Structure 1
Amino acid sequence: MSSISWAESYLGQLRALAGDRTLLFVGARAVVRNTAGQVLLIERADNGYWALPAGAMELGESIAQCAIREVWEETGLTVTAVTPFAMYTGPDHTFTNMYGDTYQLFVVAFRVDTWEGDLLPSTDETTDAGFFPAEAPPAPLSSTVPETLDDLATFERTGQIVLK
């Protein structure tokens, strides 16, 4: 797997063409847990928030491949199996990022069922990474983390994909 720059990415190219229009952001988010049940969080290099590994899907990949690639790019871990558990798609999942770009999300959250490798504490996209108890995450924490972990708990309790 290789990383590409924002300008080379599908979303980066689309943003350059679309200007300040609201765009659909198709992407994936991943919950990686260790054997102790702790959750992997990354400290984002762009805004300093702690978040789950996540990012935009590229042309030519599936949404599951997107989740696997994002985990690898942001943590160095190789994901070998995932299960989708939630989709965030409604207009209430519209946000404007720190660059002033507005997106309506279509994000699929995946539980990482198996993974291997050694965690990289920093990458091109992260300044730190680690496993934390879900009830004691570091700060500042992305608002998507508690919602995603709650939705994973719902999925694991009910077996039903959470649709929002």
Structure 2
Amino acid sequence: MGLTWAESYLGKVRASIGDVDTIFFVGARTLVFDEDRRLLLIQRSDNHRWAIPAGAMELGESMEECAKRELWEETGLTATSLTPYAFYTAITYTNQYGHTYQQVLMSFIVHTWEGELLRQTDESVDAGFFALDAMPGDRSLVIEEALADLATFQETGRLVMK
């Protein structure tokens, strides 16, 4: 569907500078709810954890285009209306491969979408909508933060900045 890791911007940067240095991870993530207020989660193919659709921006893309592309690549759904609600710039993390990144990341709430949910893609081994009180166990830690930040945005009407 999309680029391989080696073909991606981050893959190329990692290949040129190695695995030790911290680099910027610029990307987007999405929250998608169905009509029953269930949250869309994917089970990632790389670590099998449940997560919200997200990923790195490619050269020439906007944050919104990145969010739409990542949602489509990971679920087969095409976002037709979305709003940014949080912007993160101060979080540094090391992934399972020992790569350290400082995030520059925008979170979007997807209001409407088209298409049929694909449960398996190149980047996910399963996907589905889950009630917030019945989400699967082995899941990404960012889900709770993303939900809390959306609640803050909805309360205040102001973009959450971290």
What TM-score does the superposition give when structure 2 sets the normalisation length?
Answer: 0.97
Please give the alpha-carbon distance, in whole angstroms, between the structure 1 residues aligned to 2:129 and 2:88.
24
| 1:38 maps to 2:38 | yes
State the SS of the aligned residue for 2:3. Answer: coil
Residue 56 (structure 2) aligns with: 56
Give 1:113 deviation, angstroms: 1.3
* Aligned residue runs from structure 1 range 136-155, under 5 A: 136-155=134-153
1:117 to 105, 115, 118: 115
* Aligned residue runs from structure 1 range 1-164, under 5 A: 2-19=1-18, 20-90=20-90, 93-164=91-162
- Count the aligned residue pairs: 161
Moved >4 Å (runs of 4+): none
Structure 2 portions without partners, runs of 5+: none
Give 1:28 deviation, angstroms: 0.2
Give 1:137 deviation, angstroms: 1.0
Q: Which amino acid aligns with 1:32?
A: V
Structure 1 portions without partners, runs of 5+: none
Note the alpha carbon deviations across 1:110-139, whole angstroms, 9 max, x for none.
000110111001100001000011222111
What is the identity percentage for the equivalent residue pairs of Structure 1 and Structure 2? Answer: 56
State the SS of the aligned residue for 2:147. Answer: helix
Q: Which amino acid aligns with 2:34?
A: N
What TM-score does the superposition give when structure 1 sets the normalisation length?
Answer: 0.96
RMSD over aligned CA atoms reads 0.8
Please give the alpha-carbon distance, in whole angstroms, between the structure 1 residues aligned to 2:98 and 2:36.
39
